[in-house]
């Protein structure tokens, strides 16, 4: 596959208006806009990547529910599409929250095309995440166009009222992730420490590092020029844009968009 774009979004249930019940959620519109731009890159397939209990590939028949958040709402992943190579395959599993919100975003923007999803366990190592990201890019025919919708929250320890309370290390951790997303820097994402992420309740670490692996593979194998520096995708082949960086509920929410230059999308 040729990777043409990737969007990074948080996955709080409050992104869904029925769950928010009128709560103004600034990240919602930003996330929807980022996913709309992701779809505008005209991929053949979108793979949603999000944290899950185990590494699992979710087929289009999978669905998730927001019943646990007081809303009787089922979210289907989508129409039939070839699944990426998984370590385990379930025919119709329940989607975890991260991928449920990703599927909801695709539904909101009206994406009509193929989509699958991959769950990433919190325990995965950076090397394991890179390998998984590389497999996503390597899968299927080279002429197929792939986009990734990467769902992940930053630290849940940003304020005293945060789910994990206040940890003075949390803001710096999220700032490192934000800087890497803003710069299109896979190496910066891979520098995030899994142990620290676990202590800071940063659910997005594993999925962000899968993104890093996918982008490194795409830069290595794609038609664009080689990276000019350590981890940087380089302005000659990719554009990176950090569109949101805040912690309104004590949890770090980041929205970013990485797109391959039009001339190099294939």
3-class secondary structure, 40: helix
Residue 50: CA count within 13 A, CB half-sphere: 24
Residue 57: CA count within 13 A, CB half-sphere: 19
pLDDT tier at 142, thresholds 50, 70, 90:
confident
Give the pLDDT score at 22.
Answer: 80
Nearest to 32 by CA among 130, 80, 102: 102
pLDDT, tens digit, for every residue of 70-95?
999 999 998 644 444 554 444 567 99
Give the pLDDT score at 233.
Answer: 53
Q: Give the DSSP H/E element, type plus range, for residue 12.
A: none
CA distances 7 to 61, 158, 258, 259, Å, are 23, 23, 6, 8
Mean pLDDT within 120-129: 97
Residue 225 clears pLDDT 70, i.e. is over it: no
Residues 6+ apart with CB under 8 A from 241: 182, 256, 257, 258
Residue 37 clears pLDDT 50, i.e. is over it: yes
Nearest to 156 by CA among 45, 248, 235, 219: 248
Q: Which parts of 96-183 fold into alpha helices (H)?
A: 97-109, 126-138, 170-183
pLDDT tier at 266, thresholds 50, 70, 90:
low
Q: Which CATH architecture has domain 2-264?
A: 3-Layer(aba) Sandwich (3.40)
pLDDT tier at 219, thresholds 50, 70, 90:
confident
Structure tokens, 10: 């948080």
Give the pLDDT score at 226.
Answer: 33
Mean pLDDT within 89-103: 84
Residues 6+ apart with CB under 8 A from 46: 38, 39, 106, 111, 113, 114, 115, 146, 147, 148, 149
Q: State pTM to two decimals.
A: 0.90
- Alpha carbon of residue 231 to chain centroid: 18
Nearest to 9 by CA among 103, 84, 87, 89: 103
The residue ranges of every structural domain in the chain are 2-264
Are the CB atoms for 209 and 49 separated by under 8 Å?
no
Structure tokens, 55: 């590494």
Of 260 and 261, more confident? 260
Mean model confidence pLDDT for the chain: 89
């Amino acid at each position: 596959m040729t990777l043409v774009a990737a969007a990074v979004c948080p996955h709080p249930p409050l992104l869904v208006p029925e769950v928010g019940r009128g709560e103004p959620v600034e990240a919602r519109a930003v996330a929807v806009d980022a996913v709309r731009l992701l779809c505008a890159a005209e991929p053949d397939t979108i793979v949603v990547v999000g944290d899950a209990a185990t590494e699992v590939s979710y087929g289009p028949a999978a669905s998730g529910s927001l019943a646990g958040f007081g809303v009787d709402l089922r979210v289907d992943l989508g129409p039939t599409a070839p699944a990426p190579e998984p370590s385990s395959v379930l025919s119709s599993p329940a989607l975890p929250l991260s991928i449920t919100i990703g599927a909801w975003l695709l539904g909101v923007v009206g994406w009509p095309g193929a989509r699958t999803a991959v769950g990433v366990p919190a325990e995965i190592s950076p090397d394991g995440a890179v390998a998984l990201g590389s497999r996503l890019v390597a899968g299927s025919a080279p002429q197929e166009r792939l986009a990734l919708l990467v769902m992940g929250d930053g630290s849940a320890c940003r304020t005293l009222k945060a789910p994990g309370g206040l940890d003075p290390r949390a803001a710096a951790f999220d700032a490192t992730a934000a800087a890497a997303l803003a710069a299109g820097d896979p190496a910066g994402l891979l520098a995030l420490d899994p142990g620290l992420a676990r202590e800071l309740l940063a659910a997005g670490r594993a999925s962000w590092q899968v993104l890093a692996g996918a982008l490194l593979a795409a830069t290595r194998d794609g038609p664009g020029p080689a990276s000019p520096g350590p981890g940087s995708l380089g302005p000659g082949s990719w554009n990176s844009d950090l569109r949101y960086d805040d912690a309104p509920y004590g949890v770090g929410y980041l929205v970013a968009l990485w797109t391959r230059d039009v001339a190099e999308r294939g």
